[in-house]
Structure formats: C-alpha cells, structure tokens
Structure 1
Amino acid sequence: MTRYLLSIYQPDGPRPSDERLAEINRDLEALNVELRAVGSWVFDGGLHAASTATVLRPGAGASEVMITDGPFVDSKEHLGGIKIIDAPDLDAALGWAAKLTRAVGLPVEVRPFQG
C-alpha cells in the first residue's frame, strides 16, 4: 500500500449554508466509514480560513526566521482540509479522491508520499 495525501482546495468567501454543511458532513462521514471498512483511512481534518495562517521563512542569517501573517500565497483558493489514505496504487487513490470531490463539491489534489 502507498500512502496518499488528498488535499481539498476551497475558494475564499463566505461559508456554505448550515444545510449545505450538514450535507457535506454527512457525505464525508459516509466516505470515512467506507475508507475505514477497507483499511484505507489514516487521518483527515479540516482547516480554519487561510487568513488564520502564519508563515515562517528562512531569514538572511543561518539561524534567522521571519514570521508573517496570512497564507503562503495570495490566491483565490486555499488548502481547506486534508485526508491521508493508504491505497494499493494511484488508480485506487484517484477513485477515493473522486468520491471526496463529489462529497465536498471542491477540487482535490492527489499526491503520494515518498518512501
């Protein structure tokens, strides 16, 4: 099995309605039940808004670190949540990502972990 990161990207803007969030949460829980049943679920979690991010960058000196508020990049979409899964191959990971995309109605990036 290979471990994959499924990254969910969400647009900036207002939160979905409570009704829509309830739908999304129901669909995500159903997906998690399915992933757990086949032993593929590892970890998942949603993130607060990109405006809550803090970025650390190397400074001029070897031990210097600069800290700034806000997301790493200025974009209309930001990382909104992640799911880490085990899958036998990329095709299987893409299948899970397709289910995740349908559940949340947002783009999902799939990347394998090294090693």
Structure 2
Amino acid sequence: MTKYLISFPSAAMVVPEEELQAVSDASHTVVQEAKDAGVWVFGGGIDESIPPVMVDADGTVREGTYPQTARIQGGYSVLELPSYDAALEWAAKFAASCRCAQEVRAFQYDPAS
C-alpha cells in the first residue's frame, strides 16, 4: 500500500473563533475513523510558534530554512491506503471536517519504511 500526505496550510482554514471547537472535534472524529480503519500512520499540526532551523551534516544548527519551504505550516496527515482514489476519499473527509481544501501527495515506495 502507498502512504499519502493529506495537508492544508494554516491560512486556508478560515473559521470563526466560536466554531473552532466544532472544527477540532470534527477533525478528531475523522482521525479516529482513520485509526479505526487501520490506515492512520501519523498526523498533526506544525507548531508555528517554533521557528524552523537548519542542521548541517557536521551538526551545526543555524536559523532559517530552505527558501521554498519557509512557509510550511498547517495540518498534516499521513495515511497508508490501497489506492489514489481512497486517498481522495479521505481528503474529502478531512476537507469537510477542517472546512478547507486538502492537498494530496503520494510518497514514493521505500521498502525500508
């Protein structure tokens, strides 16, 4: 089976303050559904209060990130699914619960992971 990344940037989720708990509850329901179905691998939201750093091969840590990833933020779920169509179905569930469109990407097969 293939692992799929289903994600959205923080800015895409525009929800009134009074509806945040309902959105949170709905998304946790979809997460539990994925766990119950045995397809959940990992998920979570990026803690945007902690800035990214770069760690070089020699262990040197420096502020910043790659220019193309400077804006990585939002929520991510990794599911292991039998097909691309199944990934689209799960993405639709997350889109409904989070009230925003979800991006779907497939991980390349790696027999070691």
Question: TM class, shorter-chain normalised?
Answer: 0.7 to 0.9
State the AA in 2 paired with 1:2: T
Given that 2:54 and 2:65 are in contact with CA atoms closer than 8 Å, whether structure 1 keeps it comes out as no
State the AA in 2 paired with 1:42: V
State the AA in 1 paired with 2:46: L
User: Between Structure 1 and Structure 2, which shows a larger proportion of strand residues?
Assistant: 1
| Structure 1 gaps, min length 5 | none
> How many percent of aligned residue pairs carry the same amino acid?
31
State the AA in 1 paired with 2:90: W
Aligned counterparts of 1:105 and 1:78: Cα–Cα separation in 2: 19
Secondary structure class of the residue paired with 1:7: strand
Alpha-carbon RMSD across the aligned residues, in angstroms, is 3.1
Task: Give the number of aligned pairs.
Answer: 108
* Residues 1:96 and 2:90 aligned together: yes
| Structure 2 gaps, min length 5 | none
Which residue of structure 2 lines up, in the alignment, with residue 53 of structure 1?
A: 51
TM-score for the superposition, normalised by structure 1: 0.73
Given that 1:54 and 1:68 are in contact with CA atoms closer than 8 Å, whether structure 2 keeps it comes out as yes
Aligned counterparts of 1:86 and 1:98: Cα–Cα separation in 2: 16
